[in-house]
Structure 1
Amino acid sequence: MDDGSIRKRKESQNGSIGHIVDCQTKDKQPAKATVLQKDVGLLSGICLIVGTMIGSGIFISPKPVLLYSGAVGPCLVIWAACGVLATLGALCYAELGTMITKSGGEYSYFKEAYGSVIAYLYSWTTVMVLKPSSFAIITLSFAGYASTPFYPGCTPPAVVTKCLSAAAILLIVSVNCLSVKLASYVQNFFTAAKLFIIIVIVVAGMVMLAQGKTDTLSNAFDGTSSSFGAIGLAFYNGLWAYDGWNQLNFITEELKDPYRNLPLAIIIGIPLVSVCYVLVNVAYFSVLTTTELLQSPAVAVTFGDRVLYPMSWIVPLFVVFSTFGAANGSCFTAGRLAYVSGREGHMVKILSYISLKHYTPSPALIFNGILAICYIIPADINTLINYFSFATWSFYGLAALALIVMRFTRKELHRPVKVPIVIPALMVLVSCYLVLAPIIDKPELEYLYCAIFILSGLLLYYPLIHLKVKWAHKLMSPITMHLQLLMEVVPPEIN
Structure 2
Amino acid sequence: MKESSPAKMKNELGLLDGTMLVAGSMIGSGIFIVSADIIRRVGSSGWLISTWVITGFMTLTAALSYGELSAMFPKAGGQYVYLKEAYNKFIAFLYGWSFFSVIQTGTIAAVGVAFSKFTAYLVPALSEDNILLSIPHGDEGKAYTISAAQIVSIILIVILTYINSRGVKNGKFIQTTFTLTKLLSLFGLIAFGLIALKGDIWDANWTNPWDIHSLNADGSFGSSLALNAALGAIAIAMVGTIFSSDAWNNVTFIAGEMKNPKRDVALSLAFGTLIVTVIYVLANIMYIAVLPLNEIATAEKDRVAVEASQVIFGNIGTVIIAIMIMISTFGCNNGLILSGARVYYSMAKDGLFFKKAGTLNSASVPAFGLWIQALVASILCLSGRYGDLLDMISFVAVMFYVLTIAGIFILREKMPHAERPYKAWGYPVLPAIYILMGIAFCILLVIYKPEYTWPGLIIVLIGIPIYFISQRNVKDEEEPVVS
TM-score by length of 1: 0.85
> Counterpart in 2 of 1:433?
440
> Counterpart in 2 of 1:236?
239
**CA 1:458/1:244 → structure 2, altered by over 3 Å: closer, same or farther?**
closer
> Counterpart in 2 of 1:21?
3
Map 1:404-443 → 2, pairs under 5 A:
404-419=409-424, 420-443=427-450
Q: Give 2:392's match in structure 1, choosing from 384, 387, 411.
A: 387
- d(CA) in 2 for partners of 1:201 and 1:96? 36
- d(CA) in 2 for partners of 1:393 and 1:90? 13
**CA 1:370/1:381 → structure 2, altered by over 3 Å: closer, same or farther?**
closer
> Counterpart in 2 of 1:458?
464
2:151 counterpart letter in structure 1: C
- d(CA) in 1 for partners of 2:211 and 2:130? 38
- d(CA) in 2 for partners of 1:78 and 1:425? 20
> Counterpart in 2 of 1:175?
163
2:446 counterpart letter in structure 1: I
Q: Which digits, 9 at most, give the CA deviation of each residue in 1:54-99, with x for residues without a partner?
A: 1111112212222222211111011112111110000111011001
Tell me how far 1:273 sits from its aligned partner: 1.1
Q: Give 1:367's match in structure 2, choosing from 372, 377, 391.
A: 372
1:269 counterpart letter in structure 2: G
User: Is 1:98 equivalent to 2:71 in the alignment?
Assistant: yes
Tell me how far 1:426 sits from its aligned partner: 1.5
> Counterpart in 1 of 2:190?
202
Structure 2: tracts of 5 or more residues without a match: 132-146, 214-224
Q: Which digits, 9 at most, give the CA deviation of each residue in 1:411-449, with x for residues without a partner?
A: 1211111121122212211221122211112322x6323
Tell me how far 1:380 sits from its aligned partner: 4.3
Q: Give 1:221's match in structure 2, choosing from 210, 218, 243.
A: 210
Q: Give 1:398's match in structure 2, choosing from 403, 427, 439.
A: 403
**CA 1:303/1:210 → structure 2, altered by over 3 Å: closer, same or farther?**
closer
Q: Is the 8 A contact 1:98 1:417 kept in 2?
A: yes
1:400 counterpart letter in structure 2: I
- d(CA) in 2 for partners of 1:290 and 1:102? 46
Q: Is the 8 A contact 2:128 2:150 kept in 1?
A: no
Q: Which digits, 9 at most, give the CA deviation of each residue in 1:211-243, with x for residues without a partner?
A: 665244321234445422221111121111111
Q: Which digits, 9 at most, give the CA deviation of each residue in 1:312-360, with x for residues without a partner?
A: 222211111001100111111111111111111110111111112x111
Q: Is the 8 A contact 1:148 1:155 kept in 2?
A: no
- d(CA) in 1 for partners of 2:169 and 2:407? 32
1:422 counterpart letter in structure 2: V
2:205 counterpart letter in structure 1: L
- d(CA) in 1 for partners of 2:370 and 2:477? 27
> Counterpart in 2 of 1:491?
none
SS in 2 for 1:101: coil
SS in 1 for 2:77: coil
Structure 1 vs Structure 2: percent identity of aligned residues? 27
1:375 counterpart letter in structure 2: L
Q: Is the 8 A contact 2:110 2:387 kept in 1?
A: no
Q: Is the 8 A contact 2:351 2:474 kept in 1?
A: no
2:263 counterpart letter in structure 1: R
- d(CA) in 1 for partners of 2:431 and 2:445? 22
Q: Is the 8 A contact 1:148 1:156 kept in 2?
A: no
1:48 counterpart letter in structure 2: L
Tell me how far 1:467 sits from its aligned partner: 5.6
Q: Give 2:334's match in structure 1, choosing from 328, 333, 342.
A: 328
1:280 counterpart letter in structure 2: A
User: Is 1:267 equivalent to 2:270 in the alignment?
Assistant: yes
SS in 1 for 2:25: helix
- d(CA) in 2 for partners of 1:376 and 1:388? 16
- d(CA) in 2 for partners of 1:223 and 1:92? 32
User: Is 1:337 equivalent to 2:340 in the alignment?
Assistant: no
SS in 2 for 1:230: helix
> Counterpart in 2 of 1:28?
none
Q: Give 2:26's match in structure 1, choosing from 37, 45, 53.
A: 53
Q: Is the 8 A contact 1:146 1:316 kept in 2?
A: yes
What is the RMSD of the two structures over their aligned residues, measured on CA atoms? 2.2
Q: Is the 8 A contact 1:387 1:447 kept in 2?
A: yes
Tell me how far 1:108 sits from its aligned partner: 0.3
> Counterpart in 2 of 1:479?
none
Map 1:78-227 → 2, pairs under 5 A:
78-151=51-124, 156-157=129-130, 159-209=147-197, 213-219=201-207, 220-224=209-213, 225=225, 226=227, 227=229
Q: Which digits, 9 at most, give the CA deviation of each residue in 1:149-189, with x for residues without a partner?
A: 3349x973360111111111111111111121111110111
Q: Which digits, 9 at most, give the CA deviation of each residue in 1:101-122, with x for residues without a partner?
A: 1221221011111111111111
User: Is 1:74 equivalent to 2:8 in the alignment?
Assistant: no
**CA 1:203/1:339 → structure 2, altered by over 3 Å: closer, same or farther?**
same
SS in 2 for 1:403: helix
- d(CA) in 2 for partners of 1:188 and 1:470? 45
2:210 counterpart letter in structure 1: F
- d(CA) in 2 for partners of 1:460 and 1:211? 58
Q: Is the 8 A contact 1:183 1:328 kept in 2?
A: yes
- d(CA) in 1 for partners of 2:386 and 2:93? 27
- d(CA) in 1 for partners of 2:384 and 2:395? 17
> Counterpart in 1 of 2:454?
448
Tell me how far 1:381 sits from its aligned partner: 5.1
Q: Give 2:305's match in structure 1, choosing from 300, 304, 308.
A: 300
